[in-house]
Amino acid sequence: MAADTDCQISRATLCDKTSNQGDVMARAATTLEQVAEQAMALPSESRAQLADLLIESLDGEELGRIEELWLVEAKRRRDEVRSGTVKTVPGEEALRKVRDSLGG
């Protein structure tokens, strides 16, 4: 409860807890960036397992209809890759093909 410690209320002064929201958001963004960086350093199979865990942690009740459909689609694509039904394409190659198809 660091926020409670940082914002002790006295009779003369009230701590403005909202003044710290910007700092909290900046720290959260940094932490998220650090987690993402660590996740990207994992081997492919570990990243896939982590992605599965994150997708499955989403509560379908809280998601809108479009998000639910994307979740179904993401799982379908994951299963196709794992079963060997489809072959993955490296990102640079996929981007090159898209650029070529657009004449760029």
Residue 53 is predicted with a pLDDT of 87
- Among 78, 37, 34, which residue's Cα sits nearest to residue 56? 78
Whether 4 shows a pLDDT value over 90: the answer reads no
**Helices 65-83/44-57 angle, 10° precision:** 150
pLDDT band with cut points at 50, 70 and 90 for residue 103: confident
Asked if residue 46 lies in contact with residue 56, where contact means CB atoms within 8 angstroms, the answer is no
CA distance 68 to 66: 5
User: Would you say residue 9 has pLDDT above 60?
Assistant: no
In degrees, rounded to 5, the angle at the alpha carbon of residue 35 between the alpha carbons of residues 30 and 41 is 130
Question: Which residue ranges make up each domain of the chain?
Answer: 1-41, 43-104
Instruction: Give tens-digit pLDDT for 70-83.
Output: 889 999 999 999 99
Q: Does pTM surpass 0.85?
A: no
The 10s digit of each residue's pLDDT in 21-68 is 566 666 767 788 899 999 999 998 899 899 888 877 876 666 677 788
Q: Amino acid identity, residue 4?
A: D
